[in-house]
Structure 1
Amino acid sequence: MGLYRDEGVVLRTQKLGEADRIVTLLTRETGRIRAVAKGVRRTSSKFGGRLEPFMHVDLQLHTGRSLDIVTQAETITPFAAVLGGDYARYTAGTAMLEAVERLTDAEREPAVQHYLLLVGALRSLAAAEHDPGLILDAFLVRSLAVAGYAPSFDACTGCGLAGPHGAFAVAAGGSVCPDCRPVGSAAPAPATLALLGALLTGDWASADASEDRARREGHGLVAAYLNWHLERGLRSLRLVERV
């Protein structure tokens, strides 16, 4: 493949040798990749600061045997500069980066929808358009839907009966009617399911008007649903401040 260009968001980094760094990125066209950025930990590096988590960059890379090599990086949007100074937005963003890496489990497979969701969510966080917790939960439920795990917050996942219903079963895929309700189902408030449905569909007017109780309960359902499909929780989700 030789040289190629793409744009991407830095998900995480790790040290390599004395001056290099391995960078994990979600790119628009190539999908999730791992690449070596040589010499970026030296103070003389021209683009070391552009390859930190949250940075939205335009890249030139060279295909390697096991890891590609970053040969050029130009900043598109410096999300790190804004999010790094605010704990609530930073921790919400960190959970997004971890989640999208886990949900795109195969390297070098195109993930355009996940990429666009991530850039849009980071842009919304940076601009403080909504509560950080709401932005995070909206990103998580939409990312799950893109990955093929769309939760239902209205119709019964067992028989399709129109809702809303009074129970939510993580293993069943969401809302369940009284006849399909399995043992151990949660019984969230109607306002909670309405909030989650609004986040999934992008109804921000309704989401912004939601009460703190619905937000707390909704976050718990989203976290449980995510953990079920990932088979283990996100480490960074524990650091997110909730109202």
Structure 2
Amino acid sequence: MTLYRDTAMVLRVQKLGEADRIITLLTRRRGKIRAVAKGVRRTRSRWGARLEPFNHVDIQCYTGRSLDIITQAETVDAFGVGLVNDYPRYTAGCAVLETADRLVAEEGEPAMRVYMLLVGAIRALSDRERDASLVLDAFLLRAMSHAGWAPAINDCARCAEPGPHPAFNIAAGGAVCPRCRPPGSVMPSRETFALLDALLHGDWTTADAAAAATRRDTSGLVAAHLQWHLERQLRSLPLVERRATAAT
């Protein structure tokens, strides 16, 4: 039996038996793990509430045959407090958690960058200082960059010709020049390309100034690009309420 300690974000929970739960966590050092929390569904459990989605926790576990066992959990950040009463932020947070869960496919493999992106995104949503849609799209773009799926924004995705280019094609990998443009490509505005670049590189001055229509178009491209590469739809993404608060 090996005992270990780590910090983690709770991604999701599943019922197990009458009183236990299987907790899926993204940890700082061990990547994604699934662990059993015994007795946490009992009303007298003193630490079951700490192992809920959106919580950032310090956990102690020991390795089991198939699933690890959680023996202790302490709250580091209770991010859910800032999300559960705000539907747009809550749904954006759910999409962030589900994306992190899908992107880190292998359990036990280190995923430090995704962990840091996840904690930063959930903290930003909970603090309510930025528009929820912008935070979600920035997380999705940066997480895709880590996975090697970042869309081409300036150079052509097919021939690498320097841009800017007028067309965008999901299957081709992003921006495409007139020579490489496949049928069915869309023609986003220059403002949409600028917002994609700003979100990917953390230019929040440009992102916060984007118009509501530009934010909607950008969100559509980001969601389509992510789900193309995942080869499946995120269950939480259609529920996200895109209520922009852009400057006009």
TM, length-normalised to structure 2: 0.96
- Aligned mates of 1:50, 1:8 — CA distance in 2: 11
Matches within 5 A, 1:50-199: 50-199=50-199
- Aligned mates of 2:189, 2:57 — CA distance in 1: 42
Amino acid at match of 1:8: A
Q: Offset of 1:186 from its aligned partner?
A: 1.2
- Aligned mates of 2:128, 2:165 — CA distance in 1: 33
Q: Secondary structure at the match of 1:235?
A: coil
- Aligned mates of 2:59, 2:204 — CA distance in 1: 33
Q: Deviations over 1:48-73 (max 9, x none)?
A: 00000000000000100100000000
Q: Secondary structure at the match of 2:153?
A: coil
Cross-structure match for 1:205: 205
- Aligned mates of 2:94, 2:164 — CA distance in 1: 33
Q: Which runs of 4+ in 1 moved over 3 A?
A: none
Q: Offset of 1:157 from its aligned partner?
A: 1.1
Cross-structure match for 1:237: 237
Q: Offset of 1:129 from its aligned partner?
A: 2.0
Amino acid at match of 1:173: G
- Aligned mates of 1:223, 1:160 — CA distance in 2: 23
Alpha-carbon RMSD: 0.8
- Aligned mates of 1:197, 1:149 — CA distance in 2: 14
Amino acid at match of 1:93: G
Amino acid at match of 2:27: T
Amino acid at match of 2:77: T
Cross-structure match for 2:246: none
Cross-structure match for 2:19: 19
- Aligned mates of 1:41, 1:81 — CA distance in 2: 20
- Aligned mates of 1:242, 1:192 — CA distance in 2: 16
The answer to whether the 8 Å contact 2:81/2:126 transfers is no
Cross-structure match for 2:227: 227
Q: Percent identity between the aligned chains? A: 62
Cross-structure match for 1:42: 42
Q: Secondary structure at the match of 2:229?
A: helix
Q: Offset of 1:27 from its aligned partner?
A: 0.4
The answer to whether the 8 Å contact 2:35/2:69 transfers is yes
- Aligned mates of 1:237, 1:162 — CA distance in 2: 32
Number of corresponding residues: 243
Amino acid at match of 2:2: G
The answer to whether the 8 Å contact 2:19/2:39 transfers is yes
Q: Offset of 1:167 from its aligned partner?
A: 0.4
Q: Offset of 1:115 from its aligned partner?
A: 0.1
Amino acid at match of 1:20: D
Amino acid at match of 1:149: W
Q: Deviations over 1:162-194 (max 9, x none)?
A: 111110011111101001111111111111111
Q: Offset of 1:148 from its aligned partner?
A: 1.1
- Aligned mates of 2:125, 2:188 — CA distance in 1: 27
- Aligned mates of 1:6, 1:173 — CA distance in 2: 36
Unpaired runs of 5+ residues, structure 2, are 244-248
Cross-structure match for 1:30: 30
Q: Offset of 1:23 from its aligned partner?
A: 0.3
- Aligned mates of 2:56, 2:43 — CA distance in 1: 21
Q: Secondary structure at the match of 1:180?
A: coil
The answer to whether the 8 Å contact 2:61/2:68 transfers is yes
Q: Deviations over 1:9-33 (max 9, x none)?
A: 0000011011000000000100000
Q: Offset of 1:38 from its aligned partner?
A: 0.1
Q: Secondary structure at the match of 2:15?
A: strand
Amino acid at match of 2:122: L
- Aligned mates of 1:199, 1:25 — CA distance in 2: 26
